[in-house]
Amino acid sequence: MLEIRDLTTGYGRAQVLWDVTASVADGEIVTLLGPNGAGKTTLVNALSGILRPWSGQVLLNDIDLTATRPHLISQSGIAVVPEGRRIFPDMTVTDNLLIGAYNKRARPHHEGNVERIYEIFPRLSERKRQLAGSMSGGEQQMLAIGRALMAEPSLLLLDEPSLGLAPIIVENIFEVLKQLNQEGLSILLVEQNAVEALNLAGRGYVLEEGRIVGEGSSGELLADERLRKAYLGL
Amino acid sequence: MNADLLTQAAVSGALIGGLYALMSLGLSLSWGALENINLAHFMFILFGAYVTYQLTSSAGIDPLLAALIVVPLGFAAGGLLQIFFEWAKVDEFKSLIISFGLFIILQSLARTIWSADFRSLDQSINPYVGSSFTVGSVSLQIPLVIAFVAAALIAFGTQAVMGRTFFGKAVRAVVHDPDTAQAFGVDHRRVGVLLAAIASAYSALAGVLIATFQSLSPTMAVGWFGIVFPVVILGGLGNAVGNFLAGIIIGVAAGVAAVIWGPLSASLVTFSIMVLALLFRPEGLFTRKAAI
């Protein structure tokens, strides 16, 4: 599904990622852990086309995304739930969802998909015509996930979806992610909330100072003494 | 003060307000959606008017049919200018300075081509100028009625496109967050160029309509500042229907003020309205905003 090979990138001249190699297999949930400033969001930006890689490769189903023009990446099957949600606050909930379906592949199915999103998140269906910026943080996060699903992705990237949300909402959102995964969606989950993330994911990577410094199954990572101290607060 | 005279001033003001709205819509869209304060729109209007004048006076084309040539030219010119703005990474402030330079250059060019003398289409080749009909005691000038109807159709048409189509939603998404819009498949450069081209086509059409009933001179564009900026601010940046209603408000206010206090008071009144709008409703009278 997703293959990241020796990816190097940064902002301006400041290099952030060094030779990052990672993968997500079909139907997997993989989590990316690491402290603030490790480069997690930079990696998400590079995968979603916001940032161009300096070197290395990103392959999605054997298609080289580093050679794909940024606005065509969603068409090839990656959809992103960005850090801080980045919904369009002055647009209605429905219009936000429709932007998710902008790419040529997903657009013909937008009507059915909007209904599907409203079934997944009934809270959103009560607020269809409300301006997205007037909703609570949890509702905005649901909208950001709904918008990404509208793109009919094969891989969903989530950048800190639990940030700033009440535990009950986080639980609800993680439940939805589990459900979507069981229906076949592959997920790359960037999280600070390491315990929750490892409980959901099958595998994980640890990113520190722009380099992958550890990887393993969730069980292995949860048992790792150093990781427990650094991220799990145990 | 005669009531008939005031009624006439208000009705004529409302009609010409439609034209004001069309003259302002291009600037409003490019300011609101592309974050360019593009003074070149004044030149798109001026050249739209002069090219119409030229086509009609030398080739004998009906001035309204000249729109079939002038509007596509405006579309192309605005699109090309936006490609340059994108290429040169022009931000809001730089766009004001650069397009002010373009304003001066193109105004001189118009003076070189058409001289500083007033130019107007003679009644023998322009069926619209001077024609009117009356309703009760009020006289309606036909070129103003045409301009009003065109402006209304364009305002509501643009609003519908912005609200209902994927293109319109993409424009709004790009305004707020081009990176996120791009991550969902919106090619923000292409959307920007298309929108700029449409905006300048509107300005060129306003020029065509002006040529059907006004005398043209290169310096007239400076006089439009006092109309266009108040309309754009009052209507709300990028809000097509708000812009149309603001055009009518400004048109009526300027027309009635001219009758009561004399023609020179018109821009005092329109600018006062703009200042009040900036103080109390900087987002425009008709714009709906989210709480956050």
Measured between CA atoms, how close is A139 to chain B, in angstroms? 14
- Using the predicted structure, report yes or no on whether residue A21 has a pLDDT greater than 90: yes
Token code pair at residue B232: 């754009």
ipTM of the complex model: 0.91
Angle between the N-to-C axes of helices A137-150 and A93-100, in degrees from 0 to 180, rounded to the nearest 10 = 30
Domain extent at residue B268: 3-280
Does B292 reside within a domain?
Answer: no
The answer to whether the CB atoms of A50 and B291 lie below 8 A apart is: no
- Using the predicted structure, report yes or no on whether residue B149 has a pLDDT greater than 90: yes
Provide, rounded to the nearest whole percent, the portion of chain A with pLDDT above 90: 79
Does B40 reside within a domain?
Answer: yes
d(CA A103, CA A145): 16
Burial of A213 (0-12, 13-18, 19+ CB in 10 A): middle
- Mean local confidence (pLDDT), A18-37: 93
Residues of chain A with CATH 3.40.50.300: 2-77+154-232
Helices and strands, counts by H and E, chain A: 10, 10
What confidence tier does A68 reach under pLDDT thresholds 50, 70, 90?
A: confident
Token code pair at residue B15: 């009609």
Beta-bridge partner residues of B113: none
What confidence tier does A10 reach under pLDDT thresholds 50, 70, 90?
A: very high
- Using the predicted structure, report yes or no on whether residue B20 has a pLDDT greater than 90: yes
- Using the predicted structure, report yes or no on whether residue B288 has a pLDDT greater than 70: no
Least confident span in A146-155, B7-16, B283-292 = B283-292
If one compares B15 and A227, the residue with the highest pLDDT of the two is: B15
The alpha carbon dihedral of A130, A135, A141, A142 has a sign of negative
d(CA B84, CA B107): 20
- Using the predicted structure, report yes or no on whether residue B291 has a pLDDT greater than 50: no
Does B290 reside within a domain?
Answer: no
Q: What local confidence, expressed as pLDDT, does residue B64 receive?
A: 95
Residue A98 dihedral angles phi and psi, to the nearest 5°? -65, -35
- Mean local confidence (pLDDT), B131-137: 87
**B170 closest CB neighbour out of A75, A102, A131:** A102
Question: From the CB of residue B39, how many other CB atoms can be counted at a distance below 10 Å?
Answer: 22
- Mean local confidence (pLDDT), A4-9: 95
Residue the block writes with tokens 């990138």? A9
Does B289 reside within a domain?
Answer: no
Name the residue among B222, B235, B215, B237 with its Cα closest to residue B267: B222
Q: What is the DSSP letter of B119?
A: B
- Mean local confidence (pLDDT), A13-27: 94
Residue A89 dihedral angles phi and psi, to the nearest 5°? -65, -30
- Mean local confidence (pLDDT), A55-77: 90
d(CA B290, CA B292): 5
Buried b (16+ CB within 10 A) or exposed e, B256-276: bbbbeeeeebbbebbeebbee
- Mean local confidence (pLDDT), B126-147: 89
Q: What local confidence, expressed as pLDDT, does residue B123 receive?
A: 84
**Cβ–Cβ under 8 Å, residues B207 and B45:** yes
d(CA B247, CA B17): 4
**Cβ–Cβ under 8 Å, residues B39 and B95:** no
Residue B143 sits in a domain whose CATH number is 1.10.3470
Which chain B residue lies closest to A48 (C-alpha atoms)? Answer: B183
Q: What local confidence, expressed as pLDDT, does residue A3 receive?
A: 94
Does B288 reside within a domain?
Answer: no
Q: What local confidence, expressed as pLDDT, does residue B290 receive?
A: 40
- Mean local confidence (pLDDT), B60-87: 96
Residues of B in Cβ contact (< 8 Å) with A104: 185
Measured between CA atoms, how close is B165 to chain A, in angstroms? 10
Q: Does B89 touch chain A (CB under 8 A)?
A: no
Q: What local confidence, expressed as pLDDT, does residue A232 receive?
A: 65
**pTM, 2 dp:** 0.88
Q: Does B15 touch chain A (CB under 8 A)?
A: no
Mutate: best of B166, B175, B184, B189, partner A, most A CBs <10 A:
B184
Q: What local confidence, expressed as pLDDT, does residue B203 receive?
A: 98
The fold for domain A2-77+154-232 equals Rossmann fold (3.40.50)
Does B68 reside within a domain?
Answer: yes
Name residues whose C-beta falls within 8 Å of residue B202's C-beta, 6 or more positions apart in sequence.
Answer: B22, B25, B26, B29, B74, B154
**Cβ–Cβ under 8 Å, residues B230 and B271:** yes
Q: How many independent structural domains does chain B possess?
A: 1
Does B285 reside within a domain?
Answer: no
* pLDDT tens profile B212-229: 999 999 999 999 998 999
Q: What local confidence, expressed as pLDDT, does residue A80 receive?
A: 95
Question: From the CB of residue B1, how many other CB atoms can be counted at a distance below 10 Å?
Answer: 6
The answer to whether the CB atoms of B186 and A99 lie below 8 A apart is: yes
What confidence tier does B206 reach under pLDDT thresholds 50, 70, 90?
A: very high
Segment 180-199 of chain B within 8 Å of chain A by CB: 180-188
* pLDDT tens profile A100-117: 999 999 999 999 999 999
- Using the predicted structure, report yes or no on whether residue A91 has a pLDDT greater than 50: yes
Which chain B residue lies closest to A72 (C-alpha atoms)? Answer: B185
Q: What local confidence, expressed as pLDDT, does residue B2 receive?
A: 80
Q: Give DSSP secondary structure letters for A82-138.
A: -TT----TTSBHHHHHHHHT-STTTGGGHHHHHHHHHHH-HHHHTTTTSBGGGS-HH
What confidence tier does B292 reach under pLDDT thresholds 50, 70, 90?
A: very low
Does B151 reside within a domain?
Answer: yes
Question: What does pLDDT average to over chain B?
Answer: 92
Residues of B in Cβ contact (< 8 Å) with A99: 169-170, 173, 181, 184, 186
Measured between CA atoms, how close is B283 to chain A, in angstroms? 13
Strands across the sheet with A203-208, in order?
Answer: A78-81, A155-159, A186-191, A29-33, A203-208, A211-217
